[in-house]
Amino acid sequence: MQGGLNMENYPPYSITDKMLNYVSEIMEKIGETNYFINLNKYPELRRKTRIKSIHSSLAIENNQLSLFQVEDVINGKLVIGEQKDIQEVKNAFKAYEEIGNVDPYSIEDLKRVQGIMTYLIEEDSGRFRNHGEGVYDVDKCIFMAPSENMVPKLMDNLFNWMKEAKSSVNPLILSSIFHYEFVFIHPFSDGNGRTARLWQTVILSDWKEIFKYISIESIIKENQEEYYKAIADCNQKGDSNEFIEFMLKVINKSIDEVINSKDEK
């Protein structure tokens, strides 16, 4: 059975050597306290990271604003562009400001943040979808999400598993499983990808504060085709292994970027 629907072995994944290698490499890098201990002295770095994350995550969903325009919107300047694109940036900034104020293991908090993310854009903002949802390539349906009737139960299963697993599953792996399963369930009418990417950062930032200074989204944007391919392959195979490996590779590269930029400073 596909993705999040196989309840006997939920969520379906297995730990691979590749995952273990990435996790140990990432843990070693974030353990280098001399790199990260003073990051809170760089509030401008945190803001820069946030703007980069917002621009990348929205660009993945075809928002046309440039990085500089996104920064201008966030700084309250007048920007010429599609009203919807501008509204998405304002919403995303408010949603990202909630990192550190929400419980990563609360469905209600997730709904509230999705409501912020899709404010004035989606009618049923902050509420689970009440209709079928598919992903289309022109006219061809390439993925049909679970029925709307199943969404509340599937989301409960996902969050119950996370609450149980958080003491035994490394957050790097847990947050990647969440990301895949959430996209598979496709619980909202709009903003699923944006919310999944933000919530992975919420989970990781709750674990280690340095993730507030790391733009995972910008590396996903650079590897967008591989991102969608990993999701599609996992939908076919019925487990999230390939996606977990992809996300760990992304997180590893994101940390390298921070280390390199700090070295340059």
Confidence band, pLDDT 50/70/90 cuts, at residue 262: low
Tokens 């369930």 sit at which residue? 185
* CA–CA separation, 181 and 146 (whole Å): 11
Signed CA dihedral, 154, 155, 158, 164: sign only: negative
CA angle 178, 184, 189 (to 5 degrees): 105
The answer for residues whose C-beta is within 8 angstroms of residue 144's C-beta and 6 or more apart is 132, 133, 134
Q: What's residue 182's pLDDT? A: 98
Q: What's residue 259's pLDDT? A: 83
* Residue 205 near residue 251, CB atoms below 8 Å: no
* Residue 201 near residue 216, CB atoms below 8 Å: yes
* CA–CA separation, 177 and 175 (whole Å): 5
Give the count of domains, the chain.
1
Can you give the residue range of the structural domain that contains 249?
3-264
SS3 content of the chain, % helix, strand, coil (to 5): 65, 5, 30
* CA–CA separation, 103 and 89 (whole Å): 23
Which CATH number fits the domain that encloses residue 239? 1.10.3290.10
Predicted confidence (pLDDT) per residue in 219-240, tens digit: 999 999 999 999 999 999 999 9
Confidence band, pLDDT 50/70/90 cuts, at residue 143: confident
Q: What's residue 1's pLDDT? A: 38
Q: What's residue 260's pLDDT? A: 82
pTM of the entire predicted model: 0.93
Q: What's residue 9's pLDDT? A: 81
Tokens linked to 205: 């930032």
Q: What's residue 136's pLDDT? A: 73
* Residue 126 near residue 112, CB atoms below 8 Å: yes
Which of 239-255 are b and which e, b meaning 16 or more Cβ less than 10 Å from the residue's Cβ?
A: bbbbbbbbbbbbbbebb
The answer for residues whose C-beta is within 8 angstroms of residue 32's C-beta and 6 or more apart is 259
Tokens linked to 146: 């679970």
Q: What's residue 265's pLDDT? A: 54
Which of 26-36 are b and which e, b meaning 16 or more Cβ less than 10 Å from the residue's Cβ?
A: beebbeeeebb
List C-alpha distances in Å: 128 to 29, 57, 153.
Answer: 38, 21, 11
